[in-house]
């Protein structure tokens, strides 16, 4: 705590890992002696920089930008960029730390990183976003490259921003190589990358349900968020004959009592793509200031942001008979909410595993760029399904030493072991 003052999100992520692996780690004399856990909790470096840009009135503005290069033990640094006013060093350190282990679970050669800025893209004109992205990349370009660090998108950074960032990177570096993922398919991007996190989350959910003698067909799913992850999770869930009860945004929740249809999903996608508010739609029932967690559902799929589902929400979901929680977002549950699901033995897939599909397809994009190839959507989708299946089987076979299968502990242990063994073998790294 003293080394990371005022970094509650980061400490929460470290604490969750410690709780999961504590029993196993206590018996690892060599790892303890070389302080593997403590050293892994220290990022390789945190790059922090000023981003100056001119707004449409000609006024010079500035924001803070960061890249947290957490660990490149298993491969080049890899992780998204987030543009939102809530971005702090603590948030990016928690996301970077989680990313090390998520990437390890995919089995692909990727280290862990995260970056972004406290810049708020909401309400900005396209020219302002372009000038901001160019200024941000002017500094970031010094620190990235296909064998060094390969950023992608996250909250507030979709395909438009990735394209602007990549275009500027090309001008600065004069070298075409895949230094960013999530690019447009006509200039080096991978098929299915946009859909991958949401689709992968549903694929993982299906594996988890089937391992526990259930199936997704007919299940009522409460989804939060209406961004990239949420809307593609909703799309795949509808394809699999589940009933999607909701989507949400910062203003409230849009409920669909009889289930969201593909047609209405299209309306939500169009509106959110233009930066609109769910409250402006004339479909479903909008509940201002509410979350989806008081809906009677079988599966809760939080896909918006960190700590969006708290203890009270967890209690409400349990009382309503929820069977599974599958995290599309990163660390969407508070520590207390997570503890409630553990006590009540609710199936709980952590983001590290359930939302790893996005970075997995980013890894496949890196491979395609290196080979100068472009794979079909069918091939990438099949690879994605296989990776989610493999992550699931690694988790259920992780020997956590506990009688009850916990997906949180299984994911943390399987990933930590992989990283720790490599780290330890590097000596005083
Ligand atoms: P987007 O920016 O596309 O969408 C975020 C959504 O969450 C928006 O609907 C936004 O609402 C909503 N939201 C944000 N903050 C809040 C809040 N405090 N309360 C309620 N709703 C909120 O982001 P993504 O879909 O890309 O990312 C969502 C989550 O998934 C994040 O945790 C991210 O780290 C994680 N993730 C994303 C991956 C990806 O490939 N994109 C990969 C792995 C994880 P509004 O429109 O009002 O802002």
The pLDDT tens digits of the residues spanning 64-94 come to 999 999 999 999 999 999 999 999 999 999 9
Hey, whose CA ends up nearest to atom 48 of ligand 1? 250
Give mean pLDDT, residues 423-429.
88
- How far apart are alpha carbons 196 and 40 in whole angstroms? 28
Give mean pLDDT, residues 46-62.
98
Closest CA to 409 of 321, 334, 347, 357: 347
Confidence of residue 372 (pLDDT cuts 50, 70, 90): very high
Which pLDDT score, from 0 to 100, does residue 37 have? 97
Give mean pLDDT, residues 410-417.
98
**Per residue in 312-329, pLDDT tens?**
999 999 999 999 999 999
Give mean pLDDT, residues 5-28.
95
Hey, whose CA ends up nearest to atom 16 of ligand 1? 250
**Per residue in 255-289, pLDDT tens?**
999 999 999 999 999 999 999 999 999 999 999 99
Which pLDDT score, from 0 to 100, does residue 169 have? 98
Instruction: Show the tokens assigned to 121.
Output: 């893209």
Closest CA to 113 of 73, 141, 85: 73
Q: Is the confidence at residue 5, as pLDDT, over 90?
A: no
Contact 68, 99 (CB under 8 A): no
- Given 78, 93, 102, 114, which residue is catalytic? 114
Q: Which domains does the chain have, with CATH numbers?
A: 43-179 (3.40.50.10860), 195-349 (3.40.50.720)
- How far apart are alpha carbons 88 and 75 in whole angstroms? 25
Which pLDDT score, from 0 to 100, does residue 400 have? 78
Hey, whose CA ends up nearest to atom 7 of ligand 1? 304
Which pLDDT score, from 0 to 100, does residue 338 have? 97
Confidence of residue 162 (pLDDT cuts 50, 70, 90): very high
Phi, psi of 17 (to 5 degrees): -65, -45
Which pLDDT score, from 0 to 100, does residue 322 have? 98
Q: What is the mean pLDDT of the chain?
A: 97
Residue to mutate, 81, 96, 182, 229, ligand 1, most ligand atoms under 8 Å from C-beta: 229
Q: Is the confidence at residue 1, as pLDDT, over 80?
A: no
Hey, whose CA ends up nearest to atom 32 of ligand 1? 329
Q: Is the confidence at residue 2, as pLDDT, over 80?
A: no
- How far apart are alpha carbons 106 and 388 in whole angstroms? 8
Around ligand 1, the residues with Cβ closer than 6 Å are: 153-156, 197, 225-230, 248-250, 272, 303-305, 308, 328-330, 355, 358
Which pLDDT score, from 0 to 100, does residue 4 have? 85
Burial track 383-415 (b if 16+ CB lie within 10 A, e otherwise):
bbbebbeebbebbeebebeeeebbbbbbbbbbb
Q: Is the pTM of this model over 0.90?
A: yes
Q: What is the number of the ligand 1 atom nearest to the C-alpha of 359?
A: 42
Confidence of residue 428 (pLDDT cuts 50, 70, 90): confident
Range in 314-328, 341-355, 398-412 with the lowest mean pLDDT: 398-412
């Amino acid at each position: 705590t003293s080394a990371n003052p005022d970094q509650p999100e980061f400490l929460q992520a470290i604490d969750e890992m410690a709780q999961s692996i504590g029993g196993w780690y206590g018996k690892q004399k060599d790892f303890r002696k070389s302080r593997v856990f403590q050293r892994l909790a220290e990022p390789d470096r945190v790059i922090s920089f000023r981003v100056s840009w001119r707004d449409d009135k000609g006024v010079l503005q500035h924001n803070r930008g960061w890249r947290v290069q957490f660990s490149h033990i298993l491969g080049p640094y890899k992780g998204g960029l987030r543009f939102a006013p809530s971005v702090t060093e603590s948030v990016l350190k928690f996301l970077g730390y989680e990313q090390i282990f998520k990437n390890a679970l995919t089995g692909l050669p990727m280290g862990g990183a995260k970056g972004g800025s406290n810049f708020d893209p909401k309400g900005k004109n396209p020219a302002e976003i372009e000038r901001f992205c160019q200024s941000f990349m002017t500094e970031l370009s010094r620190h990235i490259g296909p064998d060094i660090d390969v950023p992608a998108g996250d909250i507030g950074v979709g395909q438009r921003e990735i394209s602007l960032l990549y275009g500027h990177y090309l001008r600065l570096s004069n070298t075409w190589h895949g230094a960013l993922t999530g690019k447009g398919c006509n200039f080096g991007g991978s098929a299915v990358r946009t859909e991958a996190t949401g689709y992968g989350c549903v694929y993982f959910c299906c594996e988890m349900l089937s391992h526990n003698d259930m199936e997704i067909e007919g299940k009522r799913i409460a989804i939060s968020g209406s961004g990239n992850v949420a809307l593609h999770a909703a799309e795949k869930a509808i394809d699999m004959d589940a009933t999607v009860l909701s989507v949400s945004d910062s203003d409230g929740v849009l409920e669909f009592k009889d289930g969201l249809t593909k047609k209405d999903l299209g309306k939500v996608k169009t509106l959110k793509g233009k930066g609109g508010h769910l409250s402006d739609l004339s479909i479903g029932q909008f509940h201002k200031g509410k979350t989806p967690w008081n809906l009677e559902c079988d599966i809760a799929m939080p896909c918006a942001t960190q700590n969006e589902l708290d203890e009270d929400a967890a209690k409400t979901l349990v009382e309503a008979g929820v069977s599974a929680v599958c995290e599309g977002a990163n660390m969407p549950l508070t520590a207390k909410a997570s503890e409630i699901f553990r006590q009540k033995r609710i199936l709980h897939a952590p983001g590290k595993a359930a939302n790893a599909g996005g970075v997995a397809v980013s890894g496949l994009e890196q491979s395609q760029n290196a080979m100068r190839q472009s794979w079909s959507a069918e091939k990438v989708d099949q690879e994605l399904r296989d990776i989610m299946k493999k992550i699931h089987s690694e988790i259920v076979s992780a020997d956590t030493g506990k009688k009850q299968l916990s997906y949180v502990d299984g994911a943390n242990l399987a990933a930590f072991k992989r990283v720790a063994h490599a780290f330890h073998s590097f000596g005083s790294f």
